[in-house]
Structure 1
Amino acid sequence: MSKECCSAEDSRDIKDKATDRNHDDHQHDHNDEDGHSHEHSDQTPFQLFLPAIISFVLLLLGIAFDHFFPQNWFQGWARIFWYAAAYLPVGLPVLKEASENIIKGDVFSEFFLMVIATVGAFSIGEYPEGVAVMLFYSVGEVFQTLAVTRAKSNIKTLLDQRPDEVTVLENNSPKTIKAYQAKIGDIIQLKPGEKLALDGELLSESASFNTAALTGESKPDTKKKGANVLAGMINLQTVAQVKITTAYEDSKLSKILELVQNANSQKAPTELFIRKFARIYTPIIVVLAILICLLPCFFVVDYIFRDWLYRSLIFLVISCPCALVISIPLGYFGGIGAASRHGILFKGSNFLDKIANIQNVVMDKTGTMTEGVFEVQEVNINSDFDQNALLEMVNALESNSNHPVATAIHTYVGEIDSSLEITNVEEIAGHGLKADVEGKELLVGNFKLMDQYKIQYGINPADIIYTVIAIAYDGKFAGYITIADKIKEDSKFTVEKLHKLKVKVTMLSGDKSTVVKYVADQLGIDNAFGDLLPEDKVNKVKEIKARNENVAFVGDGVNDAPVVALSDVGIAMGGLGSDATIETADVVIQDDKPSKIPVAINIGKKTKQIVWQNIILAFVVKGIVLALGAGGLATMWEAVFADVGVALLAILNAVRIQKMKFI
């Protein structure tokens, strides 16, 4: 029975949590994509196993009465009723599933095969074997449920992060309201141990947060005043105040809930093939079983109907595609769950397959391999200009941009002079900003911007290693500001790990080539290109793809969205990343750590490996026992192993992925 990574129940739960937490979203009766109804999703393991335990005890007693402690009363109808009582606890749910599927037009399901095989066994007096087949099938279903629940808990740990209520300050007085009622601009008071319900800006001087549920990292993250803090973070030490910057339904966590909710719709090619295969395979098996039972009547001299019916029933049990239909989706689901435990979100199982085959990881520089936190290194303003006045103008103009460079300038200069008259502000993609300040044209950007407006600057930009912000005012070159970005502490480790996986690393950036080359040399990156516009990045990725290399692109900015969409696997940095990039990406890394990229590739490789192990195991074992069964050399017990035993082994193999280490 196939169970998917997000059932209809979970979809409803997630959707409700993202809108109105007042609604009762704990619904347990649901149908999965194959029309199978599951009504035990929130039961304890003991409750799940109870029908099997009752059936097992009755079966053992029946076998004991048959062979070890014969009883005079245990014969005829009494014996039939005893084994029927052992059959019903595990058989009734399957009978119900089979009948519901038949009503819906899905006749040839695995439930139908189980019912035919076990009822057939009863019809020829093989009561213990009929009970055993259904019992072991039921146990396999329970193990499947437990495996899915365990994998699902990794994702739900990520999802159930927001409290129902928040404490907002109104006229400096705390007031508790529903989280979804909080508005942008409200100030939340967050006590130690409390979870943040909405995205916001930290107003307190500093605060430490536990971000493990969002990022998979147990190390506390200390934020300074003005830093962005996200829904799901837990305040650790002192009372903190947070100004809400994003509506409840638009927070990053809400968007992530949507991503996980929709992950089920994207199936891996292997999973899709097995689904189609099972729908064609099952009716063929039923026809073959009928032929095995009846056809020998015309060719075998001493034909005995009961013996050939028994062989056909064995054939049915062996042929049940449970191991494939269960273990393959479970393998992919386990991969998605394991990834979420590491703060990595796959939007579908197909991307697990794709990322396993990546040959070249192309990365943006700023915010991906570097911190994205710039600091002003040097201010070089021509003596013809008033440095302080010019910096005030630049600061005021840069306030129209959310680029890290603008933040660095604002941090250096300080408060914005609101008395400055700024008009006709225009952002020139890949170049910088232009505006009229105090009635004169101000240009702030790279030297391409200076060239575009024919500003003579008399210096060689290539001689300056750092990122340079050139300034021109009233048609004259006024000077420049140098800004440096810090390389992330795990960037070098990331490149080394990717090289061990035999994956090339390419870095593309709009930053100046000298800076890009410097960072690439520090990290050991294979190829690096700077001074690129968004369309240049797209062309570079097209060039790599033209060499028949599978490409993953990692980025965080709005201008990265086109190239993320173009690549075979688009990876977004979810903390600093723009909403457009996160929405376009196939994989989202929650904590912006590049070291999660090789982890994601490893998870994809291990998931694919486990899925193929299960496919080979199922086909080989079933093929051997099918041949033995058709030849009369296998009993129903071997059939049980070939079906349920292989399914259990496949489930246990699929569950392994959640315990693996990928770093």
Structure 2
Amino acid sequence: MNENINPSAPLKPMEITSPRTAEHPSPTKTNEDGCCDVKPATPAARAGQNEENEKTSYLPTIISLVILVAGILLDYFKVDWFNGYVRLAAYSIAYFLVGGKVLLHAAKNIANGSVFNEFLLMGIATLGAFYIGEYAEGVTVMLFYVIGEHFQELAVMRSRRSIKALIDNRPEIIDLVRNGQITSISPQHVKIGDIIQVKPGEKVALDGDLLVERSSFNTAALTGESKPDTKLKGEKVLAGMINLDQVIQLKVTSAYEDSALSKILQLVEQASSRKAKTQQFITRFAKIYTPVVVFLAIALTIAPYFLVDNYVFNEWLYRALIFLVISCPCALVISIPLGYFGGIGAASKNGILFKGSNYLDLMTKIDTVVMDKTGTLTEGVFEVQEIKVTGLEQTEFLALTAALESKSTHPIALAVVAYAGNSYKQKNVANVEEVSGHGLKGMVDDKLLLAGNGKLLKKFQVSYPAEIDSIVETIVLVAINGNYAGYITIADKIKEDAKAAVQQLHQLGIQSIVMLSGDKDSIVQKVAKSLQIDQAFGGLLPEDKVNKVEALKQKGKTVAFVGDGINDAPVLSLADVGLAMGGLGSDAAIETADVIIQNDQPSKIGTAIKIGKSTNWVVWQNISLAFGVKAIVLALGAFGVASMWEAVFADVGVAFLAILNAIRIQRMKF
């Protein structure tokens, strides 16, 4: 396996760590002679150049293949002049065209103290074939080994390209609005507070606040969700979103390298650096496996001298060479990391970011899922549910209440105001007083209004129906001129896919689903019942959530905690796997969680588990395939039944099949 091809290595984060490189060039400038300076190569141009370099790197392999085929044909037809030194020279040229780098790698590794590796195995096996006069077989083994390397290199590069193309396709030039003039500029040179313009169909290059009244955006690159997302004036628009409706302007809130998209790219690029236990095992296994194989091959060559009659050195050496070729651990070394890389890529396509392949494995072991309520299973946005009025028109009641609540920034007050629309704006509001922990008091159209909880009305000695105290939802009681006038119930809306998400988790074999929330227990129990959650606890502080999760872990449970990644940072860190909802723009989520669900959909929890299980299944398929085929052909080779051709299949063929199986993960639908 080519050491330059390492699917476990993170992608080079040029766009992030070097924001002022030619990756995103500045607009063309004119020099003193009036000629245009040459612009730095664009990504597209460099991609084309890389493709040319790749094609050139295949040339020695193609020439070697042509010489090999020609040599085999000349041998088959027994052409007179093709013998002796001519034959040796032809096959030697074909061999060193493809095997030169492999032998060089083996020599460098030996010089660095790493003697036993796949390069040494291939070198001994193929040079041994030349020693016993099996030139064509020696070249064939090395040629197919290198062809296998080309395939695995292409597989890794294609996986990385597909992930990056999926996420990062930001424009290299954007429109900067300054003093009423529009200037084309690189997004790397834009400062926080600058105004940029984005046309319909263009991808947003930088995070910013929307300055027009409203616009819709395609957020698929960030969230995996194809449904358009409508943003209102003042709301944040993130880099990577595509503007759908009209020409818009944004006030930039993050530098290029600090945008949400850059953080996501960093996560994807660094994800494969955290190896799963299976990968770590294979790495350790290969270090023991390779020297054992070499010594067994030596024993297979020498031991029969003492055990069999008519011992022929070249015959047993040939069997030992077959043994070495079969034993090469390429299929394991490349296909397993590539399998995990494919899992990370599949997750990215579904709007899920794994910070390491080890978490793909952990997802398969989860038996308990603990979830926060607000922002995880619910929208985190309060909405008016019900209005009950006594002795007054509902529209007038709502307008009076909204007028008073418009003087507060409390989420409950904002929900009432949003529900009322413009009906309250003609009301005259004065002498507003906020009674801490109770509600609001003020004059609206010369009427004394109280709006708040039961404590507020009791404080001002206003009686109200006793049954109201049994209402589960958050409630706003209203009194006008000292008389009870009605109430408004407000609740956090449950997410559309929350119930389906809970059902899916049960179907996936999750033994227990627990909800923890700081909201009052009556509300928490109602939500849990509607979603069919196994256990629920309300009225919890962050430290209470930590204690609950610790108790579960002490019982031997493997726990995944799902939260918003801000208030739940301590328990996210404590869980075996921490999943953050709303990872976009949330520094706490990115820093604390192990897995980030980008589009806030709880159904993605089940998707993450499915991807983890599929990845694990494919990895173990590859391990079984590699060991199974190799064991069979090893036995056949030791008894002289298998030839070098079977050995080639057992090595390169199995590696190729394992690679195809690994990259299959990215094409699966979850």
- Alignment TM-score > 0.5, same fold: yes
Please, which of 8, 15, 18 is the counterpart of residue 16 of structure 1? 18
Partners of 1:75 and 1:433 lie apart in 2 by 102
Q: CA deviation at 1:371?
A: 1.9
Quick check: 1:87–1:134 contact (8 Å CA) kept in 2? yes
| Residue 201 of structure 2 corresponds to residue 215 of structure 1 | no
Partners of 1:559 and 1:181 lie apart in 2 by 34
Q: Deviations over 1:379-400 (max 9, x none)?
A: 9999xxx99999889766647x
Query: Which has the larger displacement, 12-21 or 244-253?
Result: 12-21
| Residue 628 of structure 2 corresponds to residue 620 of structure 1 | yes
Partners of 1:524 and 1:90 lie apart in 2 by 62
* Secondary structure in 2 matching 1:559: coil
Partners of 2:366 and 2:546 lie apart in 1 by 18
Please, which of 61, 70, 74 is the counterpart of residue 65 of structure 1? 74
- Aligned residue for 1:483? 490
Q: CA deviation at 1:210?
A: 1.7
| Residue 538 of structure 2 corresponds to residue 536 of structure 1 | no
| Residue 132 of structure 2 corresponds to residue 118 of structure 1 | no
Q: What letter corresponds to residue 70 of structure 1 in structure 2?
A: K
- Aligned residue for 1:318? 326
- Aligned residue for 1:35? none
Unaligned 5+ runs, structure 2:
26-39, 44-48, 391-396, 443-450, 479-483
Please, which of 258, 262, 268 is the counterpart of residue 276 of structure 2? 268
Please, which of 455, 473, 476 is the counterpart of residue 466 of structure 1? 473
Quick check: 2:11–2:269 contact (8 Å CA) kept in 1? no
Q: What letter corresponds to residue 375 of structure 1 in structure 2?
A: E
Name the CA shift for 1:26/1:183 in 2 (closer, same or farther; >3 Å). closer
Q: Deviations over 1:179-225 (max 9, x none)?
A: 13323322221111221122122221221212121122233322222
Q: Deviations over 1:34-58 (max 9, x none)?
A: xxxxxx9755875565443332332
- Aligned residue for 1:355? 363
Partners of 1:478 and 1:534 lie apart in 2 by 37
Q: What letter corresponds to residue 152 of structure 1 in structure 2?
A: R
- Aligned residue for 1:342? 350
| Residue 522 of structure 2 corresponds to residue 514 of structure 1 | yes
Partners of 2:327 and 2:463 lie apart in 1 by 79
* Secondary structure in 1 matching 2:176: strand
Please, which of 292, 296, 315 is the counterpart of residue 288 of structure 1? 296
Mapping for residues 188-207 of structure 1, pairs under 5 Å: 188-207=196-215
Query: Which has the larger displacement, 102-111 or 557-566?
Result: 102-111
- Aligned residue for 2:187? 179
Q: Deviations over 1:123-180 (max 9, x none)?
A: 1110111011111111211221122122212321244233233322223322333313
Name the CA shift for 1:507/1:241 in 2 (closer, same or farther; >3 Å). same
Name the CA shift for 1:66/1:265 in 2 (closer, same or farther; >3 Å). same
- Aligned residue for 2:507? 500
- Aligned residue for 1:650? 658
Q: CA deviation at 1:420?
A: 10
Q: What letter corresponds to residue 66 of structure 1 in structure 2?
A: D
Q: State the percentage of identical aligned residues.
A: 57
Quick check: 1:319–1:643 contact (8 Å CA) kept in 2? yes
Partners of 1:43 and 1:608 lie apart in 2 by 36
Quick check: 1:199–1:251 contact (8 Å CA) kept in 2? yes
Quick check: 1:556–1:576 contact (8 Å CA) kept in 2? no
* Secondary structure in 1 matching 2:150: helix
Quick check: 2:438–2:453 contact (8 Å CA) kept in 1? no
Q: CA deviation at 1:411?
A: 4.7
Q: CA deviation at 1:332?
A: 0.5
- Aligned residue for 2:261? 253
Q: CA deviation at 1:333?
A: 0.6
Q: CA deviation at 1:456?
A: 12
- Aligned residue for 2:64? 55
Quick check: 1:166–1:177 contact (8 Å CA) kept in 2? yes
Q: CA deviation at 1:492?
A: 2.0
Quick check: 2:297–2:320 contact (8 Å CA) kept in 1? yes
Partners of 2:462 and 2:295 lie apart in 1 by 85
Quick check: 1:207–1:235 contact (8 Å CA) kept in 2? yes
Q: CA deviation at 1:545?
A: 2.2
Mapping for residues 261-660 of structure 1, pairs under 5 Å: 261-377=269-385, 398=409, 408=415, 411=418, 463-468=470-475, 482-503=489-510, 504-575=512-583, 578-660=586-668
Name the CA shift for 1:396/1:157 in 2 (closer, same or farther; >3 Å). farther
Query: Which has the larger displacement, 367-376 or 195-204?
Result: 367-376
* Secondary structure in 1 matching 2:556: coil
- Aligned residue for 2:394? none
Query: Which has the larger displacement, 642-651 or 572-581?
Result: 572-581
Query: Which has the larger displacement, 282-291 or 299-308?
Result: 299-308
Please, which of 137, 142, 167 is the counterpart of residue 134 of structure 1? 142
Quick check: 1:467–1:511 contact (8 Å CA) kept in 2? no
Q: CA deviation at 1:341?
A: 1.1
* Secondary structure in 1 matching 2:601: coil
Partners of 1:456 and 1:552 lie apart in 2 by 48
- Aligned residue for 2:46? none
- Aligned residue for 2:35? none
Q: CA deviation at 1:296?
A: 3.1
Q: CA deviation at 1:410?
A: 7.1
Quick check: 1:18–1:249 contact (8 Å CA) kept in 2? no
* Secondary structure in 1 matching 2:81: coil
Quick check: 1:203–1:240 contact (8 Å CA) kept in 2? yes
Name the CA shift for 1:421/1:104 in 2 (closer, same or farther; >3 Å). farther
Which of these two proteins has the greater Rg computed from alpha carbons? 2
- Aligned residue for 1:37? none
Please, which of 4, 7, 10 is the counterpart of residue 9 of structure 2? 7
Quick check: 2:15–2:23 contact (8 Å CA) kept in 1? no
Partners of 1:549 and 1:627 lie apart in 2 by 43
Q: Deviations over 1:388-433 (max 9, x none)?
A: 999889766647xxxx657646756999x9x99999x99xxxxx89
Could you say what the CA RMSD is over the residues aligned between the two structures, in angstroms?
3.9
Q: What letter corresponds to residue 189 of structure 2 in structure 1?
A: Q
Quick check: 1:210–1:233 contact (8 Å CA) kept in 2? yes
Partners of 2:597 and 2:20 lie apart in 1 by 20
Q: What letter corresponds to residue 314 of structure 1 in structure 2?
A: I
Q: CA deviation at 1:529?
A: 2.3
Q: CA deviation at 1:21?
A: 4.6
Partners of 1:102 and 1:394 lie apart in 2 by 77
Q: CA deviation at 1:302?
A: 2.6
| Residue 110 of structure 2 corresponds to residue 102 of structure 1 | yes
Quick check: 1:491–1:594 contact (8 Å CA) kept in 2? yes
Partners of 1:363 and 1:233 lie apart in 2 by 28
Partners of 1:433 and 1:579 lie apart in 2 by 33
Q: What letter corresponds to residue 188 of structure 2 in structure 1?
A: Y
Please, which of 91, 94, 101 is the counterpart of residue 86 of structure 1? 94
Name the CA shift for 1:492/1:388 in 2 (closer, same or farther; >3 Å). closer
- Aligned residue for 1:33? none
* Secondary structure in 1 matching 2:12: helix
Q: CA deviation at 1:496?
A: 2.0
Name the CA shift for 1:174/1:462 in 2 (closer, same or farther; >3 Å). farther
